[in-house]
Structure 1
Amino acid sequence: MRFDVSSTALLSRLQSISKVIASKNSLPILDSFLFNLEGNTLTVTASDAETRLVTSVDVMNGQGAGLFAVSAKILLDPLKELPEQPLTFDINDENLEIFIHFQNGKYNFIGQKGDTYPRQKPLNDNAISVSMDAQMLLNGISRSLFATADDELRPVMNGIYFDIHTDDLTFVASDGHKLVRLRNLAVKSPERASFILPKKPANLLKNLLAKESEQVLIKFDDNNAYVTCASFEMVCRLIEGRYPNYNSVIPQENPFRVTIDRISFLNALKRVSVFSNPASSLVKLHLKDNLITVSAQDIDFSTSAEERIVCQFDGTELSIGFKATYLIEILGNISSEEVILELADPSRAGLIIPSENDEDEDLLMLLMPMMLND
């Protein structure tokens, strides 16, 4: 086999899929990229046994066809340091000795047989398909990923729940303390379905989708999902199990409603939380007469801080405590200028929603309060 390829084109494709390769693999061949040459198309695969990424790159002067595997480290490290230039790959079909010729030199190493690389199981006949814009999928994953759990006892909480209805798609993530529900009204499906996307493939998609602008097709059955884009395909194993009824934990009647500038509130929280107890990260919000007072203290070190911010609030006086790190994360994942806090009492969950949603979106974030000592 022999082919010519641009060094930067090959490197960008390899880097985009290399993040799936685990640091410790059960099968040694999973430390490698799988190459498949057919005509002038080179298909490259990387996998960690649970998740698989496939991309392709155009080559020139392709001769022969076949499968071979190359250590990811051997290829990536030297290619990162090479300036843009054509590379010529020359592969001996008998012993898989590989020569890479370039402007000022050559590399020589031994590849591995590609037929020992794990195969991907096809989807069941009853697989369901849903199509959406790449940026919509990216937005749903980006907004909800931070709220997923790391819970060995309840693995269903460790991923993003895709709740697909005939007239919308809802992204849900929760760790028991915070919850994100992002409803996208632009995605339609012929039937009701759902799946739970694990955290690692969600993170990989977050990086890959940033460069995509076209439609994404998701096909899934009970065990696996295929996510197909213009420049890559991802196959991943889904988390099995029933996701809890997320709507039942969202309080419906919240008498206290606060409208506040998001950036002012976020920056005040970042400053005040420095003075909170590091173990609890507790901040207190005191609401009274269109003013919100954000305060924190650490009794052990005799430090405290408070800041006042103007807001719109005409209810009775209320104090409620939240974990600052969670509240900062939530506000950082909302894009509107102003946010609305919907509160009931110091022991019930507070809702944080944008004052203006993006087109075709309905975003809601929930945060459980913490007990105040006073």
Structure 2
Amino acid sequence: MKLTCLQENLKRGLATVSHAVAGKSTLPVLSNVLLATDGGRLKLAATNLDVGITHWIGAQVLEEGAITVPAKLLADVVGGLPNDRVTLTLDSRTQTVKVECARFTSNIKGIEADEFPTIPTVSDREPTVSLAPSALREAIDQVAFAAASDDSRPVLAGVLVRLRDNRATFAAADGFRLATRVIQLPEPIDQPQEFIVPAKSLIELSRIAADSEGNISMTITPGGSQALFHSDNTELVSRLIDGKFPDFERIIPGQYLTRSVLDTAELAKAVKLASYFANSSQNVVKLTIEPGGELGPGRVVISSNAAEVGDNTGEIDGMIHGEGGQIALNVKYLADALAAIKTAQVALETQTTQSPGVFKPVGQEGYVHIVMPMSIR
């Protein structure tokens, strides 16, 4: 193998695939990145067996070949080189890659490419659905963080993706909160599909979507065990989670007694102030909703109290429809919900102190975020 490419392209490509490199593994080759010539381009690939990322960059290929080299060492070396042309030359006898750029030369010992696991590619499959990168990224960013961070219930560590008619629904829940986002598809789906993708894999896909200009296609392997995502120059393959996702639609309240329309940034600021005290008191923040009179707006009082530290109270005005009331929420979950809402105003729908708080962006259809209540003492 011998080829030349631009340092900035190689650096960016290594950064893209590095998120799939195994941190600690009994297989040394999983700590490596695959370098292979492929149709006049350089293919970079990494996998930890749960997720695999493949990225292609433009290169001038002089000799075909493939090798795997330690991912972190190669990324560090390439990152330290000047912004110039890089030449990679493989000595197949010693499995060593010579990296040359300007007046710098490094030799990196690798492992044969044959030992690297095969990562499925999209090339020979018809995509199930194709999504605009901006819409896909927004949906992932609004939902994936609500998945469970541990694997005690594997299905809750994933995001349900439901493709039906002309809609794609993304849903995640960890037992204390639920986030759902619906995206309209350009054309209806032939066959309805439902699968659970690990939240970590979708977060990687969101990073890839940020650099993608063309649509991202989604394909499920024939056995239904893996999902493949394809963008301009990058492919991500992820294992799917077996199991049945909870019936999340039953959790979403169909009605409310009070609807408060509030300024998103003002509420987020008040919640952040309250969090400094709530963090010392089981993360409880209390929202007291008071309807306005005929002349003035209503208001929401945000309060937190920690016996050892002190207390905090903040007030914001809002349009309150209904009878008002109180609800106590986990301050971290409340802050996360507000951070996911990008509209200027947010609607909070409530019923009783024992019912969940339902957050919806005002002016954007398709997103619902539910936070379960905490007991008010």
TM-score of the alignment, normalized to the shorter chain, above 0.5: yes
- Structure-2 separation of matches of 1:111 and 1:7: 20
Alignment match, 1:49: 49
Runs (5+) with no aligned partner, structure 1 = none
Q: String of CA shifts for 1:162-183, please: whole Å, max 9, x gaps.
A: 1111121111011111111111
Distance 1:314 1:58, change over 3 A: closer
AA in 2 matched with 1:189: I
Q: String of CA shifts for 1:301-349, please: whole Å, max 9, x gaps.
A: 3x11111211111432411111111111101100111111111100011
Alignment match, 1:253: 255
Alignment match, 2:295: none
Runs (5+) with no aligned partner, structure 2 = 293-297
Alignment match, 1:37: 37
Aligned positions of 1:217-256 closer than 5 A: 217-221=217-221, 222-256=224-258
Kindly indicate whether the alpha-carbon contact (under 8 Å) linking 1:135 and 1:213 is maintained by their aligned counterparts in 2: no
Distance 1:37 1:145, change over 3 A: same
- Structure-2 separation of matches of 1:350 and 1:105: 59
Name the TM-score, length of structure 1 as normaliser. 0.93
Alignment match, 1:372: 376
- Structure-2 separation of matches of 1:275 and 1:100: 54
Alignment match, 1:214: 214
User: Among residues 267, 280, 283, which one is paired with 1:281 in the alignment?
Assistant: 283
Alignment match, 1:304: 311
1:49 deviates by 1.4
Kindly indicate whether the alpha-carbon contact (under 8 Å) linking 1:351 and 1:364 is maintained by their aligned counterparts in 2: yes
AA in 2 matched with 1:241: G
Alignment match, 1:293: 301
- Structure-2 separation of matches of 1:118 and 1:279: 48
Report the number of matched residues: 367
Alignment match, 1:76: 75
Aligned positions of 1:98-113 closer than 5 A: 98-113=97-112
- Structure-2 separation of matches of 1:340 and 1:244: 25
Q: Secondary structure at the match of 2:312?
A: strand
Q: String of CA shifts for 1:124-156, please: whole Å, max 9, x gaps.
A: x99871111111111111110111112433110
AA in 2 matched with 1:243: F
Kindly indicate whether the alpha-carbon contact (under 8 Å) linking 1:39 and 1:64 is maintained by their aligned counterparts in 2: no
Distance 1:211 1:126, change over 3 A: closer
Q: Secondary structure at the match of 1:243?
A: coil
Q: Secondary structure at the match of 1:173?
A: strand
Aligned positions of 1:87-236 closer than 5 A: 87-120=86-119, 129-187=128-186, 188-221=188-221, 222-236=224-238
- Structure-2 separation of matches of 1:294 and 1:92: 66
- Structure-2 separation of matches of 1:229 and 1:251: 37
AA in 2 matched with 1:292: V
User: Among residues 321, 328, 332, which one is paired with 2:328 in the alignment?
Assistant: 321
1:26 deviates by 2.6
Q: String of CA shifts for 1:276-318, please: whole Å, max 9, x gaps.
A: 25241111111123111111111233x1111121111143241
Say whether residues 1:24 and 2:31 are aligned partners. no
AA in 1 matched with 2:369: M
1:112 deviates by 1.8
- Structure-2 separation of matches of 1:168 and 1:87: 45
How large is the Cα RMSD of the aligned pairs? Answer: 1.9
1:77 deviates by 0.9
1:231 deviates by 1.5
Q: Secondary structure at the match of 1:203?
A: helix
